[in-house]
Structure 1
Amino acid sequence: MLLTKLHIPTLADNLVYRRQLFDKLNEGLSRKLILVSAPAGYGKTTVLTQWIQKNDIPTTWFSIDARDNHPNDFFTFLITSIQTVEENVGKKSLELLKLPGAVGLDYIIELLINDLLKIEKDLLLVLDDFHLINNQQIFKNLSFLLEFKPKHFHVAILTRSDPSLPISRLRSQNELIEIRSSDLSFSENDISELFNKKLDLDIDSKDIKLLEAKIEGWIAGLQLVAVTIQGKKNKSKFIAKLAGDNRYIMDYLIEEVLDIHDKKMRRFLLFTSILEKLNGSLCDAILQIDKSQLLLESLEKNNTFIIPLDNEREWYRYHHLFADLLRKRLIVQHKAEVLELHKRASIWFEKNDIPLLAIEHSLAAEDKEGAMLKINNIIDHLRETSQIATILKFGSLFSEEEIISNKNFGINYAWSLIVSGDLKTGQNYLHQLENGTADKKLLGRIYETYNLLKVFSGDVEAAFDYSQLAINYISDKDIIWKSWAYISNGESHLLRFELDQCIQSLQKASENATKLNNPNLQLVADSNTAYALRLAGRYREAYEICKNLLDTF
């Protein structure tokens, strides 16, 4: 887990005070949702951070990225962010999120709401970059949280586009405060305060008016103008040259920003733009230099669109727009070096035990073989923690032939397809994998996955046969897969109402779960055992198991 995603952003110096926006945000504390929706570069994150600091509001922050689109991942980060302020909130919910499929997500959110009710003070949750979420289950569960949250728990969403939440209903119920680009845009007075009072650039009122007309209050564009105009003798001439829409203005200004810096710093900016998050050691690795930390601190000091992600100034990121523009320039000017930069980044992330980013950079380096090796190192963990979206994403990046040739990944990919409802494609992969291997361990895993397929398709007898095959083929040393095979076998016996055999298989799975200290296995095995014992009339034993589960979970 990248804990930098949970840090409240650090504010730069020379910020303009936005009284009207702060008053509007204050109103949001009496509504169910604060929605700050505007395109990139309008200062959404900055204005909210300013307001939080001004009012000293207890705040939890979650900076979202595209990898957070699985409900378990999303709500794990959300609850962990809350625990940075209220450490006892969501403990049970977080434990259950580690047990994918054990209970419904609705129940987990209900437990979270009950914990939030126990808090006596105001608490604000900020979801930044929410436009990166496209999972309907997340929208559904977050809507439920908004509907039933306690009044002292406040939610602010920062996004480039309106989310698939009940916005219209909240608006009609007067439970929504909206801040749009028209609210965030700098007025002439704001531009004058930034350029003349904060930055002491001595821009006359005519040029301020011209800037407002050309850039239309777009803060990122104004910041770039401020960076590039310093030291220019004829500021009015420079402002007059600005023309076209925001895209052309940004293209022009980025060249100006790069021209301000020497060759060494320009190279640093362009080469490190391949990174979502950067620190000194990582930058040293990809540029093969030292003292990158000093360069990062220099960029921050000079307000060059770099944002610290922690209080220690270890991790940074570039402003999103600035990073996009730098990457475009990198492709134009240094295309031949891009693959090597990604390769070096992948090596650094692997050495520093950040495997998902190591894999992403291997793929960006067009090293699919190296990426697959890294994936195989973590694939069982991804499956065991039900990171289905991640497995499916990786699978989509490889050809069918490449997946079949990497059999353990292929089995886990087939499992993910089946769990996500794509039974036909999952069956196709299983058929090819079964025909292409004689390895007993892999065959056992294939049969266990076939069991899942047959359960989902309603073929009870075939599911039972495959569960038997899985038990026979999977070694006792492959303890996690063996445990799931016992659970599958127990469930198959249950469907045949063979209760004694069912209980025996499930108890073997429970014993393995205890040895492994695996709460997910323990919960599934023991809850199924208790159900079978109740059906068999062994109520006291069923009660004791359920009591232990309640005490544990």
Structure 2
Amino acid sequence: MIRTKLNLPVQHTNDIARNNVIDKLNQKFSSRLFLIIAGAGYGKSTSISQWLTKIENQNCRVGWISLDHLDNDPIRFMSYFVTAIQMQLGSGLEEVIERLESPYAPNLDWVMMACINAIDKELRSNQRDEPLKLVLALDDFHFIKSKEILAAIDLLITYCPENFKLVLISREIPDLSLVTYRSKGWLIEISSADLAFNHMESLVFLKQVMETGQEINLLETLIEKTEGWAAGLQLAALAISKNNNDVFEVEKISGNHPFILEYLTEQVLKTLPENERILLMLSSISDRFCIELALKLLKSVNQAVDFTENPYVYFQKKHYFIISLDAEKVWFRFHHLFSDVLCLQLKKWIKHQNNLDGQTTLNKLHLEASIWFLENGYEVEGFHHAVLADEIDHCTKILHSGIVPFLYRGGAGQAIEWLCKLPAFELNKRPWLWMIYASASLHVGKTDDVEIRLLAAENSLIACETMMEKGIPTMSKSEIDKIKEHIASIRAVLYATQHHMEKAIEQAQLGLKYADENSITTLSSCNWALGYAKFEAKDYRLAQQYFGTAKLLSQTNGPLIIWLMSTIGLGKIKQYSLSYEKALMIFQEVFDFPGHKGYAITCDVYYGWAQILYQQGDIEAAETVLDEAIEIAKSIDRTDRKAMYQIFKAKIMAFQGEEREALFLLEKAEKYCKSEGYTHLLAEIAYEQGLILLKLGNLTAVEVSLKLQDQEKLEIRLKLAKGEGRDAIALLEKRIQIEFENLWLEEVVEDLILHALACYKYGVLGKSLESLQKAVELSHQSNSIQMFITNGLEMLKLLRESNLDQVYPEFIRGLIKKLELEVSKDEYKLIEPLTTRELEVLKLIANGYSNETIAQNLFLATSSVKGINQRIFSKLQVDRRTEAVLKAKLLGWID
């Protein structure tokens, strides 16, 4: 990030005060959006920076972003936007910045809503007599064409707090919902007519600022010709000061602004010493420049300038349209109009130089700039100039630079933008480029394009091998094998994430065949793919070995994404083995990594954490963490995670009594899986649907579901519901044996509990208590209680008869207490409330009073008390006084 882009432009003492513009802005300060639209050179930035400097105080904070063409990238734009907001707020957006700085792009709507919420929170928490105001100006907004960014800006304007103001400074009208904003009174517009110097301002500018000592009639003519256009006035005054009046013809200042600009600039430039003119022209190739970069460029064209002082400061004093980007005056940029003309003059100069030496080219200059930026740690700009230099091999080298390649450190988006513009024949000559194209696409979640580009890389390799067979060397065999190795590793990861596990294993083994001990990326990627395949097959022992190897390989010099995925995999294995404490310790490694939320795969960490919280009975916390996982997963274009999280959300909703809503969500997940090809999740969806239908008593629907899809777990529950206990128990015992052998401990506990309840229901108490004790033995250390809780009243009865509170006192007593609470909630929904009189009678019953004593205390007939007793028993659905008291206590009606 270039921090100077966030600095408010420096105010010069000789700038003309734009009081008319400032007054208009202040009068309409209630607006949400300030739109400043005018051509180049009208003083848009100067006027707005003057206004912001005047209004900035303890009750009004102001921010600034100087945009350029690179900022049309949504993530780059949002990085600057969020940082500018954070600078005003002081805190609150650290998590968003972390995600933006990672290689995996978050959803722009999520980013913008996070900013809106942070601003709103700051405004609400700020206790001042005068409400705090925040103003953010985006300069040169005409560079922004991205529909994603424009949609995010629309979202901001629509939902921003009242005291937040956005200022857009642009040469063009942006594609925003301006009609809506006008109709709601949210918009104020400043045009070129508002910004143009009036007659008096023009005279002051020419006389005091430009120190033009010409006759008044000449100045009047200049003002008339330039029509208040500040850039035209400035250039004209410079031209006059550098030329004799008989040479400079005011009449030539006519027509549209581009013509005036070119004419006046040439008039100025031709009066400069050659070395100064060359320095200005060379500097124009970069959006920003400094002395060190200038020296590098001058040396490349065999030119030298004696820097007795900073030349850009000197030029700035002479009004040569140079703008300081920092208070230290290290970085500068040109006014865009001046830069355009300098670039045009540079091309003419290069053409002239080529007639002399044939060595100076614009591409060469961009290459020199690229090398300088890279040497000084500015990789984004270094890559940008490499692209402008049309140095394909140099661009490729940059993308592969670093222990962790630049491609995986924020360069994937730039790589794709560059590669999509290259002619196919250039890519075909370089199989490496097709491979990079595929890898970058996978890295940013564009999985649909990966296989197409890998096939193109393979076709290019075949062409190279054919030429080698004909004796025409293009690449060495080792280079070809290296590309094949990378292609296999990319495919292995791609197929694993798409759940084509046989293909993933095949490609992983192929990648390992080509790889040597130094191929860290390939070795770690292929081991992860093999681990994930074994994980999905529930072979947790082998999965742990592969994940462990992948994590070890990638944790120092390997791809960070593989380290993250391997760590998550190891945590999930511990989770499914009921080692929740160890699982959370492993997940914490991911949480401790700065910017982890920027990697979309970390949604799985939050998903695992949510599952653990659910199993431990903390439903509210589980739902909150699950929502975080859902939010992170939004940054992935196509993923089965979206369906997985909907399934779990439905599970939570069903437990909370929202069965109909849960079925609707599961139906939605089912449609998504069928449309996207995620068939591996359909069985899980069918199982959760079946559980809800059984809970609602719809056995027929479950039978239909089982005919469409074989589902043993659901079939067992249906048999129990239909009274076919013997068959259900036999099936459960077979499943439990297999689950124990494979250490599928979460599934073991679920089936042991079901087996215990089935045996209890059908009078096999010994087996019931044996299975219950095994389930408790596996669950008590991890405090996994939810599988017990979901079985409600039947589990409560069994636990009370088990005497397991003597063996696991703390766990069993806590479980019983939780079950009593949940049972009372369920029963409360079905029980008609007691009247005041009935509640009075019930409390006296609880105190052990007889009907006669109750009648005396309440001044009632004994027959009336007996009638009240019967109504209480009926409402509570009990037969005896003791049962009524116990149930009332469970419901919380009496102490």
The question of a shared fold, defined as TM-score above 0.5 by the shorter chain, is answered with yes
Moved more, 269-278 or 414-423: 414-423
Q: Which residue of 2 aligns with 1:3?
A: 3
* Paired letter, 1:329: Q
Q: Hey, what's the Cα distance between the residues in 1 that align with 2:147 and 2:346?
A: 36
Q: Which residue of 2 aligns with 1:190?
A: 201
Moved more, 83-92 or 379-388: 379-388
The SS at the match of 2:401 is: helix
Structure 2 matches for 1:301-320, cutoff 5 A?
A: 301-320=317-336
Q: Hey, what's the Cα distance between the residues in 1 that align with 2:445 and 2:625?
A: 33
Identity of aligned residues (%): 26
Q: CA deviation at 1:192?
A: 1.2
Matched, 1:179 2:202: no
- Once the two structures are superposed, what CA deviation does each residue of 1:163-196 show, in whole Å capped at 9, x if it has no partner? 1211111111111111111111122222112112
Q: Which residue of 2 aligns with 1:371?
A: 395
Q: Which residue of 2 aligns with 1:350?
A: 374
* Paired letter, 2:150: F
Q: Which residue of 2 aligns with 1:161?
A: 172
Q: Hey, what's the Cα distance between the residues in 2 that align with 1:100 and 1:344?
A: 27
Q: Hey, what's the Cα distance between the residues in 1 that align with 2:51 and 2:423?
A: 49
* Paired letter, 2:251: A
Q: CA deviation at 1:421?
A: 8.9
* Paired letter, 1:520: H
The SS at the match of 1:377 is: coil
The SS at the match of 2:15 is: coil
Q: Which residue of 1 aligns with 2:33?
A: 33
- Once the two structures are superposed, what CA deviation does each residue of 1:414-443 show, in whole Å capped at 9, x if it has no partner? 244578897775433211324635446413
- The 3 A distance-change label for structure 1 pair 34 and 382 is farther
- The 3 A distance-change label for structure 1 pair 101 and 295 is closer
* Paired letter, 1:177: I
Q: Which residue of 1 aligns with 2:16?
A: 16
* Paired letter, 1:70: D
Structure 2 matches for 1:470-489, cutoff 5 A?
A: 471-472=508-509, 473=511
Q: Which residue of 2 aligns with 1:465?
A: 502
Q: CA deviation at 1:387?
A: 5.0
Q: Hey, what's the Cα distance between the residues in 1 that align with 2:64 and 2:105?
A: 28
Q: CA deviation at 1:365?
A: 3.4
Q: CA deviation at 1:67?
A: 1.4
Q: Hey, what's the Cα distance between the residues in 1 that align with 2:224 and 2:262?
A: 18
CA contact (8 A) 2:62 2:136 kept: yes
- Once the two structures are superposed, what CA deviation does each residue of 1:491-542 show, in whole Å capped at 9, x if it has no partner? 8889x79696999666644559948947538975554256468779972399
Choose from 86, 91, 94 the match for 1:88: 91
- The 3 A distance-change label for structure 1 pair 419 and 131 is farther
Query: Number of matched residues?
Result: 544
Moved more, 47-56 or 155-164: 47-56
The SS at the match of 2:333 is: strand
CA contact (8 A) 1:410 1:429 kept: yes
Q: TM-score, length-normalised on structure 1?
A: 0.85
Matched, 1:64 2:67: yes
- The 3 A distance-change label for structure 1 pair 7 and 539 is same
Matched, 1:451 2:495: yes
- The 3 A distance-change label for structure 1 pair 235 and 62 is farther
CA contact (8 A) 1:534 1:542 kept: no
* Paired letter, 1:465: E
- For structure 1, the 5+ residue unaligned runs are none
The SS at the match of 1:210 is: helix
Q: Hey, what's the Cα distance between the residues in 2 that align with 1:482 and 1:548?
A: 33
Q: Hey, what's the Cα distance between the residues in 2 that align with 1:522 and 1:213?
A: 56
* Paired letter, 2:86: Q
Q: CA deviation at 1:316?
A: 0.6
- Once the two structures are superposed, what CA deviation does each residue of 1:319-344 show, in whole Å capped at 9, x if it has no partner? 11111101111111223323333232
Matched, 1:227 2:250: no
Q: Hey, what's the Cα distance between the residues in 2 that align with 1:489 and 1:534?
A: 26
Q: Which residue of 2 aligns with 1:338?
A: 361
Q: Hey, what's the Cα distance between the residues in 2 that align with 1:528 and 1:502?
A: 20
Q: Hey, what's the Cα distance between the residues in 2 that align with 1:72 and 1:265?
A: 38
The SS at the match of 1:467 is: helix
Matched, 1:76 2:79: yes
* Paired letter, 1:66: H
- For structure 2, the 5+ residue unaligned runs are 127-131, 355-359, 462-479, 548-564, 571-585, 633-895
Q: Which residue of 2 aligns with 1:325?
A: 341
Q: Hey, what's the Cα distance between the residues in 1 that align with 2:86 and 2:527?
A: 36
Query: CA RMSD of the aligned region, Å?
Result: 3.9
Q: Which residue of 1 aligns with 2:715?
A: none
Q: Which residue of 1 aligns with 2:419?
A: 395
Choose from 107, 110, 132 the match for 1:107: 110
Matched, 1:269 2:280: yes
CA contact (8 A) 1:392 1:417 kept: yes
- Once the two structures are superposed, what CA deviation does each residue of 1:383-418 show, in whole Å capped at 9, x if it has no partner? 545655312222034333443555554334224457
The SS at the match of 1:178 is: strand
Moved more, 44-53 or 245-254: 245-254
Q: Hey, what's the Cα distance between the residues in 2 that align with 1:366 and 1:526?
A: 37
CA contact (8 A) 1:207 1:236 kept: no
CA contact (8 A) 2:138 2:169 kept: yes
Rg (Cα) greater in structure: 2
- Once the two structures are superposed, what CA deviation does each residue of 1:12-52 show, in whole Å capped at 9, x if it has no partner? 44222221100122134311111111121111111111112
Q: Which residue of 1 aligns with 2:221?
A: 210
CA contact (8 A) 1:273 1:323 kept: yes
* Paired letter, 1:264: N
Moved more, 533-542 or 404-413: 533-542
Q: CA deviation at 1:94?
A: 1.4
Moved more, 128-137 or 283-292: 283-292
Q: Hey, what's the Cα distance between the residues in 2 that align with 1:525 and 1:251?
A: 53
The SS at the match of 1:151 is: coil
Matched, 1:280 2:291: yes
Q: Hey, what's the Cα distance between the residues in 2 that align with 1:388 and 1:347?
A: 20
- The 3 A distance-change label for structure 1 pair 24 and 349 is same
* Paired letter, 1:444: A
CA contact (8 A) 1:414 1:429 kept: yes
Greater RCO structure (CA 8 Å; 6+ sep): 1
Q: Which residue of 2 aligns with 1:539?
A: 615
Q: Hey, what's the Cα distance between the residues in 2 that align with 1:241 and 1:507?
A: 71
The SS at the match of 2:45 is: helix
Q: Which residue of 1 aligns with 2:596?
A: 520
Q: Hey, what's the Cα distance between the residues in 1 that align with 2:598 and 2:340?
A: 47
The SS at the match of 2:41 is: coil
Q: Hey, what's the Cα distance between the residues in 2 that align with 1:325 and 1:188?
A: 27
* Paired letter, 2:6: L
Moved more, 310-319 or 352-361: 352-361
Choose from 359, 363, 379 the match for 2:383: 359
* Paired letter, 1:322: F
- Once the two structures are superposed, what CA deviation does each residue of 1:79-110 show, in whole Å capped at 9, x if it has no partner? 11223333314212212324565853323322
Q: CA deviation at 1:114?
A: 1.7
* Paired letter, 2:501: F
Q: Hey, what's the Cα distance between the residues in 2 that align with 1:518 and 1:502?
A: 30
